[in-house]
């Protein structure tokens, strides 16, 4: 891992692809050739893929976020995506980013973020010393949850909202709490996933053999604010615990 100058005062690192360095093709004795596969996923590819796959469960039409918590033994201990609290039907609350009703007519007061859900879904007693793989850099509300849960490292794929206050606050919190931030840089931008082995039961396969993978979206926060600007007078912007200083900065 090498440091980058993106946030020079903060402990943010880029994570270089580890594919090549993890492949060795000799046995411990050195004499016998090892024929293990070379195409296997690295841990980082695997866990970030799980985070992105989990994001595909999201019902949010504008922003799909996934998170995957991993312990020191490389075991997944929790996953989450953004959605309404358990037991609430997906149709029972709005998914809109803006509403004539104001804040209560939007998704913001109701949606649980992916990182929060991953922590709450954990199947171990504690997340202490775990790391979390996030498709998006966490907002400050999730940052507080991650810090309190004992997570030591945040590996994130996108920090497209880095100039927003909610992300600046996260970075400040992570740095003060000595939580390491790692910007994951994949060796390949996409992962093709087959749900069967080649040649498996071809005759019984459905006529359409490939379900188009949904494209995940995470619009920049500015666009959400701009969208609201076009529809609401400035004084009517969202109000509430998740609203930013101007009521216009909210994640997911
Ligand atoms: Zn969040």
Tokens 């931008």 -> residue? 189
Among 45, 91, 101, 115, the active-site one is 115
This prediction's pTM:
0.77
Centre of ligand 1 from the C-alpha of residue 113, in Å: 5
pLDDT in tens, 136-171: 999 999 999 999 999 999 999 999 999 999 999 999
Centre of ligand 1 from the C-alpha of residue 45, in Å: 22
Which secondary structure element, helix H or strand E, spans residue 79, and what is its range? Answer: strand 76-81
pLDDT in tens, 85-139: 999 999 999 999 999 999 999 999 999 999 999 999 999 999 999 999 999 999 9
Cα torsion 230, 231, 234, 236 to 10°: value is -170
Centre of ligand 1 from the C-alpha of residue 18, in Å: 28
pLDDT in tens, 22-60: 445 555 666 788 899 998 999 999 999 999 999 999 999
Phi then psi for residue 73, to 5 deg, are -90, 15
Centre of ligand 1 from the C-alpha of residue 128, in Å: 19
Res 103: pLDDT: 97
Res 28: pLDDT: 61
Res 137: pLDDT: 98
Is residue 115 annotated as a catalytic residue, yes or no?
yes
pLDDT in tens, 198-231: 888 766 666 666 667 778 888 887 544 444 333 3
Q: Within a 13 Å sphere around the CA of 85, how many CA atoms are in the beta-carbon half?
A: 3
What is the average pLDDT across 170-197? Answer: 94
The answer to whether 115 and 146 are in contact (CB under 8 A) is yes
The pLDDT-based confidence of 3 (bands split at 50, 70, 90) is: very low
Centre of ligand 1 from the C-alpha of residue 142, in Å: 4
Residue 10 and residue 4: Cα distance in Å, rounded?
Answer: 10
């Amino acid at each position: 891992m090498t440091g980058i100058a993106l946030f020079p005062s903060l402990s943010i690192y880029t994570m270089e692809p580890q594919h090549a360095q993890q492949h060795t093709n000799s046995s411990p004795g050195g004499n016998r050739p090892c024929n293990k596969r070379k195409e296997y996923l690295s841990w980082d590819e695997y866990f970030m893929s799980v985070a992105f796959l989990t994001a595909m469960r999201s019902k949010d039409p504008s922003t799909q976020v996934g998170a995957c918590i991993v312990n020191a033994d490389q075991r997944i201990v929790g996953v989450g995506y953004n959605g309404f609290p358990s037991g609430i039907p997906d149709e029972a609350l709005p998914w809109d980013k803006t509403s004539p009703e104001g804040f209560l007519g939007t998704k913001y007061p109701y949606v649980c973020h992916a990182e929060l859900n991953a922590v709450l879904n954990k199947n171990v007693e504690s997340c202490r010393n775990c790391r979390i793989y996030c498709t998006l850099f966490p907002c400050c509300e999730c940052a507080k949850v991650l810090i309190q849960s004992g997570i030591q490292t945040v590996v994130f794929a996108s920090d497209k909202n880095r100039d927003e206050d909610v992300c600046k606050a996260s970075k400040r919190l992570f740095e003060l709490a000595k939580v390491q931030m790692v910007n994951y840089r994949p060796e390949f931008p996409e992962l093709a996933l087959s749900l069967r082995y080649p040649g498996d039961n071809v005759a019984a396969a459905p006529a359409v053999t490939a379900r188009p993978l949904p494209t995940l979206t995470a619009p920049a926060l500015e666009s959400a604010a701009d969208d609201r600007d076009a529809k609401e007078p400035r004084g009517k912007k969202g109000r509430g615990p998740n609203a930013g200083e101007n009521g216009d900065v909210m994640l997911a």
